[in-house]
Amino acid sequence: MNQTDANKQNSRVQAQASPGFDAFVEQWRQPVVVPDDPTFADRVMNRINKQAAVFSLRKNYKWMAAAAVVTVAAGIGLGRLLDGGYSGTSDTNQIVSAAYDLGLSGYETNPYEFLIQDSNE
Amino acid sequence: MDKQHWPELIKNGDRETFRELINEYRPLVYRTAARFLTNPDDCDDLTQEVFIEIWNSIHHFRGEAALSTWIYRITVNKSLNHLRKGKRLGWFLSRPGHQSDDGEPVSGPDATSSKLLNNEGARLIDAALAQLPDKQRTAFILTQAEGLSQKQAAGVMNMSESAVESLIHRARTSLRKKLKNYYTN
């Protein structure tokens, strides 16, 4: 429906509306009385202040949680290093895999050891 | 202090300016909320929530629309969300808009605006309005009660003017239909 049609239809509906209906709308249209509340702004500001305090606490918790995660991750990494473990994609690891494929068992922990021993002999 | 600068000042954390904004716009927010909610305590709570939302999201206000348009939008959204959540289900079921078995609106005694106006016509319109779809109800309230132009209501509702015009027309037609037994032709 274009705007002109809507206007026409609006006028038609309003013309058809009985005085009773329009009177109802008029009564309903009377302004709502807003109660006086001198402390309203204070209450809102108090809630905002509390919210800010909680937010700041949450922010601190977030930092602490992040620091804890980093510490644990670093600990795990360090632990693996000290254990002499190897991570998935290192060259050493690939050589170990190749050694397995070739049936050169016994050298999986350090494939270079075989070469070193060999050259010493 | 010029109101045009309020948003920028509040964005910078100026609490005194925000207090001025609260005092300035509290009647607008309360009045609008009272057209949707019928419990005075709910209106007061919602008015507080609206201002907290304004404080929290003032950085989203870019000044493309009037500040009052933005505040109306927040108030309408919060009011509709409040109704949707049905926080006070018991009260909601006994409100004026709740239908009786024969499908006619029940006149409830607890409508804020109706109570303040203390007249039957207002109470019936309130009851029938509560049964309308959200958009029709919002368009009708903003233009007929708050006196916004269709253009302003369109800004609040983020719709075209013609869409708002159509919503108002549909709302009027529905109201007349729902209340046909209550007025004389």
Report pLDDT for B117: 45
* Average pLDDT over chain A, rounded to an integer: 72
> Which residues, other chains included, contact A3 with Cβ-Cβ below 8 Å and sequence gap of 6+?
B161, B162, B165
Helix then strand then coil, in percent of chain B rounded to 5, is 70, 0, 30
Report pLDDT for B10: 94
For B174, which residue in chain A has the nearest alpha carbon?
Answer: A13
Higher pLDDT, B142 or A115: B142
A87–B contact, CB cutoff 8 A: no
| Nearest chain A CA: its distance from B112 CA (Å) | 8
Q: CA–CA separation, B15 vs A48, rounded Å?
A: 10
Report pLDDT for A60: 74
For A55, which residue in chain B has the nearest alpha carbon?
Answer: B56
Mean pLDDT by 10 residues, chain B (185 residues): 87 94 96 92 95 95 92 97 73 50 42 52 90 96 96 96 97 93 71
| Nearest chain B CA: its distance from A14 CA (Å) | 9
Q: Decide: B48 and B75 in contact? Cβ < 8 Å.
A: no
DSSP string spanning B34-75? HHH---HHHHHHHHHHHHHHHHHHGGG--SSS-HHHHHHHHH
A40–B contact, CB cutoff 8 A: yes
Report pLDDT for B158: 95
* Residue percentage of chain A with pLDDT more than 70: 49
Q: Decide: B119 and B128 in contact? Cβ < 8 Å.
A: no
For B123, which residue in chain A has the nearest alpha carbon?
Answer: A28
Q: CA–CA separation, B121 vs B94, rounded Å?
A: 19
> Which residues, other chains included, contact B125 with Cβ-Cβ below 8 Å and sequence gap of 6+?
A24, A25, A27, A28, B175, B179
Q: CA–CA separation, B128 vs B106, rounded Å?
A: 9
Report pLDDT for B92: 45
Q: Decide: B41 and B83 in contact? Cβ < 8 Å.
A: no
Q: CA–CA separation, B26 vs A15, rounded Å?
A: 36
Report pLDDT for B75: 97
What pLDDT band is residue A113 in, cutting at 50, 70 and 90?
A: low
Q: Residue count of chain A, please give it.
A: 121
Q: How far is CA B128 from CA A14, B37, B133, B137, B179, in A?
A: 18, 14, 11, 10, 7
Which residues of chain A are within 8 Å of residue B169 when distances are taken between CB atoms? Answer: 6, 9-10, 13
Which residues of chain A are within 8 Å of residue B23 when distances are taken between CB atoms? Answer: 41
pLDDT at position A115 over 80: no
